[in-house]
Amino acid sequence: MQSAPNLILVGPMGAGKTSIGRRLADRLGLHFVDVDQLVVERAGADIPTLFEHVGEAGFREREHAALASALTGDGQVVSTGGGAVLGAENRRLMRERGFVVHLHVSVEGQLRRVGHDRNRPLLQRPDRERTLRELAAVREPLYAEVADLHHDTEGLSPGRATTELIERLAVHWQRGAIPTANTP
């Protein structure tokens, strides 16, 4: 069983990071932090507006700052954006400050869940399926690299996915501080 101060959710858009994350936090008595929401609150603008004005690179800078700030706390379920794993420093912070769960869903599942969403800038392209496949090709290896646990949400309601994940976490994760070099 691995001990870590936070539970961190990574995965593609539509995997359930926010909906499952809120339920996990509630059921485990932890604080819920949505990194995308932190970015929006700090910027005073929604994500499509940020992408329009500062581009993806500007958004990723803000995402990194929000993630780093969130991970200074303990006792949290932290929902990251789908692209948060793109930054090596983000991956390092996640591994150091939490138990990382990769929530997975297929491209077909993503299309069912978020295929018509207009608030996802990377999906505002003619061929959404192709876009999702290209994103998956780059990001899936990074999710696997950072994850302590892989949890497939395909075909599951958020409630069922949460219940199954809690059962698995009982075996794999224990909330607690990460030992430091000064700790015996």
Q: Residues forming the annotated binding site for ATP?
A: 14-19, 120
- Tell me the C-alpha distance between 141 and 85, whole Å: 10
* DSSP 3-state of 88: helix
As given in the structure block, the two tokens for residue 100 are: 């990382």
The annotated binding site for Mg(2+) is made up of 18
CB-based contact 3:73 (threshold 8 Å): no
As given in the structure block, the two tokens for residue 21 are: 């994350």
**Beta-sheet strands, E only, within the chain:** 2-4, 6-10, 31-34, 76-79, 99-104, 149-152, 173-175
The annotated binding site is made up of 14-19, 36, 60, 82, 120, 139
- Tell me the C-alpha distance between 72 and 31, whole Å: 13
The annotated binding site for substrate is made up of 36, 60, 82, 139
Q: Which residues contact 105 (CB under 8 A, 6 or more apart)?
A: 11, 12, 14, 15, 16, 113, 152, 153, 154
Task: Find the radius of gyration of the CA atoms of the chain.
Answer: 16
